[in-house]
Amino acid sequence: MTKLALMSDLHIDSNQFTDFEIQTLLDILESENIDWLHIAGDTANHFYETGLPFYDKIGEKLTLTYNLGNHDMLDLSEEVIDHLDFKTYQLGELTLLAFHGWYDYSFYPDKSERENSLFKETFWFDRRLKRPLNDKDLTQVICQRLERELSRLSGPIVVAMHFVPHHHFTLTHPKFQPFNAFLGSQRFHEIFYRYGVTDVVFGHAHRSYGTKIIDQIAYHSRPLGYIREWDLTINFVNQNPEYNPTGTWNLSKRYHAVKNLDAYRRYKTQHLATEFRNALTILDTYPSAK
């Protein structure tokens, strides 16, 4: 039996991972008897400089696979992005299909395609990427390839992707709803349902939903996200309101108010393992009967 863990959105550069964070993650994986770790995108902003050395270090201890998120694509050519896309792995009876995904603005129909595109070029990280097609056409090409890949597979299928595959997981606060345009596409769910996918692990939106069953598909969303979003940071500020005299719920302001405090650093050291454990989706895979 292989024990598979999946996680996403580690952002090891923004979160300033050191040897301590890496060793804590490895210790958690060992304590959970994980044989195989798959990371579903957004490991770092610089793939060659930061992401690959991290993968190599983790890969010394267990099998490590990954797909890209939008942040991972920053320094990469489209040829490399395509080469790393749509990988299949056989884990006994189970097939893991890993692909990047993308978005087509369909999660925010309140704006026209042109309006969403202009908004992206003003505010969104992906304005720094040079993809070969517009977002709608790129998603169409990805969906066509996804159908081809799934049509060749049989047995239990677990999909790992970065982007959001169902509108249930979009942002609900009115301030943030315009960013739903860049989260993913409902078309992914429709394809998964048509081909009998059993499980889907994704991230990108930095909101943990745990496991949610939709149309017999188990969706797993436990992105680690930025340190300002971590439970341990939120809990520390809540437990020590003297560090938040204005009572703000702005996560950046809350984090910057405590990040250099010795008390916060000790608290982070004590609770980091739990933060990492809560960001894992763990699946048992069984040997094939053949």
What pLDDT is recorded for position 287? 57
What pLDDT is recorded for position 289? 42
Residues of the chain with pLDDT under 50: 289-290
- Closest by CA to 159, choosing from 3, 43, 4, is 4
| Centroid of chain to Cα 185 | 15
| Backbone conformation region of residue 171, classed left if phi is above 0, alpha if psi is from -120 to 50, else beta | beta
Centre a 10 Å sphere on the Cβ of residue 245 and count the other Cβ atoms it contains.
8
What pLDDT is recorded for position 261? 98
What pLDDT is recorded for position 290? 42
The pTM (predicted TM-score) of the whole model is 0.96
- pLDDT one-digit tens code per residue, 216-248: 999 999 999 999 999 999 999 999 999 999 999
What pLDDT is recorded for position 2? 85
What pLDDT is recorded for position 267? 98
What pLDDT is recorded for position 286? 56
Centre a 10 Å sphere on the Cβ of residue 168 and count the other Cβ atoms it contains.
13
Of the chain, the percentage scoring pLDDT greater than 90 comes to 93
As given in the structure block, the two tokens for residue 201 are 């692990």
